[in-house]
A and B are shown apart, each in its own frame.
Chain A
Amino acid sequence: MALLEVENLRTYFYTLRGVVKAVDGVSFELEKGETLGIVGESGCGKSTLAWSLLRLVPPPGRIVGGQIRIDGKDIVGMSESEVRREIRWKRISMIFQGAMNALNPVYTVGDQIIEPLLLHTNMTKQEALERARELIEAVGLAPSILERYPHELSGGQKQRVVIAMALALKPDIVIADEPTTALDVVVQAQILNLMKKLHQEEKMSIILITHDLGVVTELSEKIAVMYAGKIVEFGRAEDIFENPLHPYTKALIRAVPRLKGDIHKLEYIPGTPPDLRSPPPGCRFAPRCPRRFEPCDKEEPPIIEYSKGHYVACWLYTKR
């Protein structure tokens, strides 16, 4: 049994202008100590997926179907208080997007780090501060940071603090939602190095959510490519990059300029992603797909295992 099993998860937003199917039937598994990257463009549902895993979907959104099992125990049906007591921060925690805004400006860093420790464990304030000091050192900062306020820190330091907070209760799974998006490349490389180190030393499972194909390969053993609320391809990072199957994955990889090698003419995907209130009836990528053929507009392709551990949802690879 995998550590985390997500099965047919659906998260919809009930807006006044219709139901937005942000996550619409997503399934995947995550083993202990594994790193999974979820890539996709803006609006593909990757952040909503992250919020769903923590049961923190903001209204008017809610999980309308499927299961999220941690060690076989479903958390979708759990009461909010049970999730808060048993799951959030303890089993699964999150490094939020835009660390700049994830910290409370009127509390010192130390106060913010010890808060989950005081709430979730029986530690005294002294013990909690001791643990906070350990955490701060583990993310490569000086303990004096604990007495500082967020505005006194640089972007990279703030991001490290947010990572330290996510690690406070030694969770099994850490979700990192665009952890380096607002940072400069040098700082980004430092943060990614830190996450690699923590992954190796603490044997944490990491789910890395990003739009950046370069960042995702830095950390992920497996990659899920999302498009319009669905996973269209899933496999080992090597499979995805060396032998991409789905036309969307292929196009995405060819759309990114590289730093090395010959300069090829970049490709782009014409059109825009569908409106998730009324997605197209068949494959959601079909209207933009260069290889569209007869079944694509009519019927949604099932996700199949094309080769061992390499899954794809595309009619090109499916016998009907």
Chain B
Amino acid sequence: MSHAYRVELGEEILRVQDLKVWFPIKRDISDILLRKPQLYVHAVDGVSFNIRKREIFCLVGESGCGKTTTGKALLRLVPVHSGKAFFKPRKETLEILDAMGVKSENGFVELFGLKDSQFRPLRREIQMIYQDPYGSLNPRFRIKDVLEEVLLVHKIGSTKEERLEIIAKALEMVKLTPVEEFIDRYPHQLSGGQRQRVAIARAIIGNPSLIIADEPVSMLDVSIRAEILEVLLNLRTLLDVSFIFITHDLAVARYICDRIAVMYLGKIVELGDAREVIADPLHPYTEALIAAIPDPDPANRLKFRDLKIKGEVPNAVFIPPGCRFHPRCIYYEQHKETDKELEQLCPVVEPPLSEVKPERYVSCYRYPSIREIVKSGLPTVNKKE
């Protein structure tokens, strides 16, 4: 399978280790007096991955699986419970951080250990594109003000003319041309696709090295989605930028991403090359997800979809013990009678995410090598708190 957009990937720029974002549930006075334990919503519950330069890395999953929270955590927009994220900024940024007394190791800085003031220079390097282009642009700002704000905050460009030139360049990169025609408009004078391009221009104007794109095409009409995807694909070679692309749409993920990570209830259950994962899913959840997607083919009308999943997504407060997917897992259901070992593993010990084929990671006891890891008691197992 060939794909025109595949590019050579560079060195590693981000390494996330066991990231957890737990939101505490408010306790009222009686809960405290009765000494009820503090409960948490386990939005992100131990996620690890790495990203290379120019890579488009996808986080996919259903609503509530923690994909957006993972993205936000990297920008420190939500409080992180535990875990580490090592990020390699550009040289200039690293020098600024050095002057502030931030420790770095081989050019990597740990994002969650920084003070807010130390994180500020990094905000220029890690940018976000939001889903809703109608809500993410200030309606009282002209396009030029939207973009100039970024430059002023990060002190890019010393004169107004210089800044205007940078703005024009960014707009050209997202193909909002002729620039003069758009620069003085207000967001309400633009279509959804054009607004989203302004949002992209805002993300790239500070020359970032990582962009977190949260469902950037979900709210757009089908006929203009492809145009926005193409803009994003071009940016990575133009700017040497990497993307974390968050989406629920596996067909879009297959089209644009290098690797995908499938999330379920706060954890990555499968990770690997985007096309391989979709052509040959290894985790029962990925399999179920792919089987549920309607592909535009009139022959589908005549058959019922075989849903390889039971029940509904459980509450993220009370995560099922062992493999968090086992209560819904058809594989477990079908094989627990014949394969007695599953009953001792699936509902008891959480399966670690490990490599079962070259570059294919999955967390499921279907694979003997994962059973071996757990049985030998290696410390990769995440015990439930």
A185 touches B226 (CB 8 A): no
One of B1, B222, B291, B304 near A263 (C-beta < 8 A): B1
Question: Chain A contacts of B4 at CB under 8 A?
Answer: 265
A257-B251 Cα distance, complex, nearest whole Å: 5
- Cα distance, A259 to B290, chains bound together (Å): 8
Digitize A145-174: 1 where CB-to-B-CB distance is under 8 Å, 0 elsewhere.
Answer: 000000000101000000000000000000
Contacts of A190 in B (CB 8 A): 307
B163 contacts the other chain (Cβ, under 8 Å)? no
- The CA-CA distance from A199 to B340 in the complex, in Å, is 42
Q: How far is the CA of A42 from the CA of B225 in the complex (A)?
A: 13
**List of B residues within 8 angstroms of A257 by Cβ:** 226, 249, 251-252, 254-255
CB contacts (< 8 Å) of A41 on chain B: these are 221-223
For B193, the chain A residues whose CB sits under 8 A away are 272
| A-B pairs, 5 with minimum CB distance | A214-B294, A266-B226, A237-B298, A189-B292, A268-B226
The yes or no answer to B250 lying at the interface (CB within 8 A) is yes
B225 touches A237 (CB 8 A): no
Chain B residues with Cβ below 8 Å from A220 are 301
> Contacts A186-B292, A189-B307, A197-B304 given: A268-B298 contact, CB under 8 Å?
no
Asked if A253 is at the interface of the complex by the 8 Å CB criterion, the answer is yes
Q: Which of A35, A236, A252, A259 has the most CB of B within 10 A?
A: A259
Bound-complex Cα distance A189 to B309 (A): 11
**Distance of A113 Cα from B193 Cα, bound (Å):** 40
Residue with the greatest number of chain A CB neighbours at <10 A, chosen from B4, B291, B304: B304
Residue pair A186, B307 in contact (C-beta under 8 Å): yes
A192 at the interface (CB under 8 A from B): yes
0 or 1 for each of A186-208: is its CB under 8 Å from B? (1 = yes):
11111011001100000000000
Q: Which residues of A contact B248 (CB under 8 A)?
A: 184-185
Assess whether B223 is in contact with A259, with CB atoms less than 8 Å apart: no
Question: Chain B 51-70, CB within 8 Å of chain A: the 1/0 string?
Answer: 00000000000110000000
Most chain B CB inside 10 Å of its own CB: which residue of A35, A184, A193, A270: A184
Q: Are A184 and B63 interface neighbours, CB within 8 A?
A: yes
In the complex, whether A74 has a CB less than 8 A from a CB of chain B is no
B304 touching A196 by the CB < 8 A rule? yes
Contacts of A156 in B (CB 8 A): 312
CB of A218 within 8 A of CB of B294, answer yes
A215 within 8 A of B: yes
Interface size on B, residues (CB 8 A): 45
Contacts of A272 in B (CB 8 A): 191, 193, 224
Assembled-state Cα–Cα distance A185/B293 (Å): 6
* Interchain Cβ contacts under 8 Å between A and B, 25 examples: A41-B222, A42-B221, A185-B248, A185-B292, A186-B62, A189-B293, A211-B222, A212-B294, A214-B295, A214-B296, A217-B294, A218-B301, A220-B301, A241-B298, A255-B223, A257-B249, A258-B251, A259-B251, A260-B279, A262-B1, A263-B255, A267-B226, A268-B225, A268-B227, A272-B191
Residues in chain B near residue A268, CB distance under 8 A: 223-227, 230
Known: A214-B295, A268-B224. 6 other contacts (CB 8 A): A184-B62, A185-B289, A190-B307, A260-B279, A262-B1, A268-B230
Give A252 to B31 CA distance when docked, in angstroms: 55
Q: Considering the complex, give the chain B residue whose CB is closest to the CB of A194.
A: B304
Q: Min CB distance, B380 to chain A, in Å? A: 29
Task: State the CA gap A255–B227 with chains docked (Å).
Answer: 9
Interface: B229 (CB within 8 A): yes
A251 at the interface (CB under 8 A from B): yes
Given A193-B304, A197-B304, A272-B191: A256 touches B297 (CB 8 Å cut-off)? no
Cβ contacts B240-268/A at 8 Å (1 or 0 each):
00000000111110110000000000000
- Shortest Cβ distance from residue B240 to the other chain A in the assembled complex, whole angstroms: 22
B254 neighbours in A (Cβ, 8 Å) = 257-259, 263
Q: Is B275 on the interface with A (CB-CB < 8 A)?
A: yes
Known contacts A185-B293, A255-B226; decide if A262 and B2 are in contact (CB<8 Å).
Answer: yes
- Asked whether A6 is an interface residue with its Cβ less than 8 Å from the other chain, the reply is no
* Chain A residues with CB below 8 A from B230, complex form: 266, 268
Chain A residues, CB < 8 A from B225: 255, 266, 268
Q: Is A56 an interface residue (CB 8 A)?
A: no
Is A7 an interface residue when CB atoms closer than 8 A count as contact? no
Select from chain B the residue with minimum beta-carbon distance to A186: B292
Verify B221–A211 contact, CB threshold 8 A: yes
CB-based contact A217/B298 at 8 Å: yes
Chain A residues whose C-beta falls within 8 Å of the C-beta of B115 in the assembled complex:
none
B17 to chain A, nearest CB (A): 29
